[in-house]
Amino acid sequence: MRRLLPFFCLLAALCVATVTRAADRPNILFVFSDDHAPHAIGAYDGLFKSVNPTPNIDKLAEQGMLFQNSFCTNSICGPSRAVIQTGKHSHLNGFMRNGNKFDGDQQTFPKLLRKAGYQTAMIGKWHLGTDPQGFDYWDVLVGQGEYYNPRLKSTKGVRGVEGYCTDVVTDLALDWLKSGRDADKPFMLMCQHKAPHRTWMPAARHLHLYDDVEIPEPETLFDDWKDNAFGAREQEMTVREHLNIVYDLFGPPINGWDPDAGVSVDKSGFRNLKTMTPEQLKTWNDAYGPKNAELEKAPLKGDALVRWKFQRYAKNYLRCVKGVDESLGTLTAYLDEAGLADDTIVIYSSDQGFYVGDHGWYDKRWMYEESLKMPLIVKWPGVTQAGTVDEHLVQNLDYAETFLEIAGAPVPDDMQGRSLVPLLKGEKVEWRDAIYYQYFEYPGYHMVPKHVGVRTADAKLMHFYEFDEWEFYDLAKDPEEEHNLYGKKGGHQKTIAALKGRLAELREQYADDTDLRPRPAEWQKKYRP
């Protein structure tokens, strides 16, 4: 026995080393969706909580940390993803609006994670216009991705995969976890869904979900934007006028509705239905047909039609969310089953928030709360305390540095965010008092004027600079942002002046020298009535 002692000691030491190594360099499973607003997650305690849309995401929050004040820097798909890749604001990473091409030769966090010995994989929606770089494995949806039988691109080329997009992406992620990776290395897997993006097409199994439920209407569904800057009145994203009954809601063309009206990308308007197999299409039509017949028999108008559209839209949106929620459940069940759960950080997030009828809208882009906010829930076994809510002002700008610190990799000086690791550990740290926002796509889909802005814990200032208009909100008193107090009496001048100062400082800190001078009156007249 004595002679065996050194052997046991060595074995024990080895075990400790392995355990430390796994804990030191945990795997990261990053489940990311498209346009999933925090208020459409039960754990965020929003309006839709009553229909229990996200039991699996809620469970993640119960086990980990939920970031209550998590924001994007530029509320649109490609730009948000480029910020995550680089840890730099849009003006520096070069991807300022959808349609730009991401320069994948620049420094990105997956490249640095790889250097640090991580295996990296990217599966699902990428939408950056150039092929992913920095990944050991990638398999990405072509462009926006199709809901049914999507095309995917990998190093082997483009192919079609039969099935519902969220399930296809989940299965590919599972395949990679099971047999695609090198089990000796820690991994970073980005599993990125298309849902719940427009045109909100649910899986066949969810087509009847919420059939007998009335989705609660947002307080601002009938907003009239009366004291907003002009852009909020002239945008093209209202449930009333722009959400197309046929193209977006799969309803009948009542009241002479033009099936192409407001359809921004594909003028044929039906590409997603066109990718279905005849059986899938039959199931689809069987689900919507009877409901559509009712509306055709008694066509609605005015506010009643807005309410009908909202119900159809919100139900489809939440049905898509259900698919994403199930995906998270499937992936985390696999981690449990494979004994990986204790060594894997699981993160749920989405590229930005969204309007689900809030302010009378769909889509995103604005710096108003519903689209500025991103969900962020992190379960880090042994590190995050179960069921905690963090209130610091955090951004997608912080993700890259967070991933690098988790991996024990050096963080380059030119990244502009801050690692969230101390917050995840529950440490008390000095933190930023304000976030900086910028949006660049104008004129463009949905017609949201360019703006920059600053948000603190309780106030927001927005500058629609091409038209030199401002908005200011007292978020503590007016969380729905119904009262733009810019230029109004009531003693806000001091706060506004301070916020203008803070905005200028942030622009300097982030090296943003975008020209903010108003455009010539002639140009403005084209857009502003």
Question: Do 192 and 124 touch, CB atoms closer than 8 A?
Answer: yes
Rounded CA-CA distance 320/180 in Å is 28
For ligand SGN, the closer of residues 143 and 381 by Cβ is: 143
For ligand SGN, the closer of residues 35 and 139 by Cβ is: 35
Closest contact distance (angstroms) between CB of 265 and ligand SGN is: 4
For Ca ion, the closer of residues 91 and 125 by Cβ is: 125
Cα–Cα nearest to 38, from 62, 57, 15:
57
For ligand SGN, the closer of residues 448 and 506 by Cβ is: 448
Q: List the single partner that 445 binds among Ca ion, ligand SGN, none, CB under 5 to 8 Å by kind.
A: ligand SGN
Q: Does 264 bind ligand SGN (CB under 6 A)?
A: yes
Question: Do 239 and 309 touch, CB atoms closer than 8 A?
Answer: yes
Closest contact distance (angstroms) between CB of 460 and ligand SGN is: 22
Closest contact distance (angstroms) between CB of 211 and Ca ion is: 27
Q: Does 34 bind ligand SGN (CB under 6 A)?
A: yes
Amino acid (1-letter code) at residue 489 = K
Q: List the single partner that 265 binds among Ca ion, ligand SGN, none, CB under 5 to 8 Å by kind.
A: ligand SGN
**Which of 223, 325, 363, 469 is close enough to bind ligand SGN by CB under 6 A?**
363
Rounded CA-CA distance 106/88 in Å is 11
For Ca ion, the closer of residues 36 and 312 by Cβ is: 36
Q: Which residue is nearest to Ca ion (CB)?
A: 77
Q: Does 198 bind ligand SGN (CB under 6 A)?
A: yes
> Does a cis peptide bond (omega within 30 degrees of 0) precede residue 166?
no
| 421 to 460: interface string for ligand SGN, x by CB under 6 A | ------------------------xx--------------
∠ Cα 127 76 219 (to 5°): 135
For ligand SGN, the closer of residues 265 and 497 by Cβ is: 265
Tell me, what DSSP letter sits at residue 130?
S
Rounded CA-CA distance 308/310 in Å is 5
Scanning 110-118, 132-140, 258-266, 426-434 for contacts with ligand SGN by CB under 6 A, the matching segment is: 258-266
Site for ligand SGN in 318-337 (CB under 6 A): none
Q: Which residues contact 155 (CB under 8 A, 6 or more apart)?
A: 138
| Residue 28 backbone dihedrals phi, psi, to 5 degrees | -130, 120
Q: What is the 3-state secondary structure (H, E, C) of 159-216?
A: EECCCEHHHHHHHHHHHHHHHHCCCCCCEEEEEECCCCCCCCCCCHHHCCCCCCCCCC
Q: Does 98 bind ligand SGN (CB under 6 A)?
A: yes
Closest contact distance (angstroms) between CB of 60 and Ca ion is: 20
Residue linked to tokens 């820097």: 73
Token pair of 114 as six digits: 């790889």
Rounded CA-CA distance 303/78 in Å is 34
Scanning 151-159, 259-267, 301-309, 315-323 for contacts with ligand SGN by CB under 6 A, the matching segment is: 259-267
Question: 363: alpha, beta or left, given left = phi > 0 and alpha = psi -120 to 50?
Answer: left
Distance of CA 73 to the CA centre of its chain: 12
Closest contact distance (angstroms) between CB of 441 and ligand SGN is: 9
Closest contact distance (angstroms) between CB of 396 and Ca ion is: 12
Q: Which residue is nearest to ligand SGN (CB)?
A: 77
Number of C-beta neighbours around residue 509 at 10 A: 11
| Residue 462 backbone dihedrals phi, psi, to 5 degrees | -125, 140
Rounded CA-CA distance 529/517 in Å is 20
For ligand SGN, the closer of residues 118 and 355 by Cβ is: 355
Q: Which residues bind Ca ion (CB under 5 A)?
A: 34-35, 77, 351
Closest contact distance (angstroms) between CB of 145 and ligand SGN is: 10
Number of C-beta neighbours around residue 69 at 10 A: 16
Q: Does 197 bind ligand SGN (CB under 6 A)?
A: yes
| 66 to 85: interface string for ligand SGN, x by CB under 6 A | ----------xx--------
Name the residues that contact ligand SGN, by CB under 6 A. Answer: 34-35, 76-77, 98, 127, 144, 197-199, 263-265, 363, 445-446
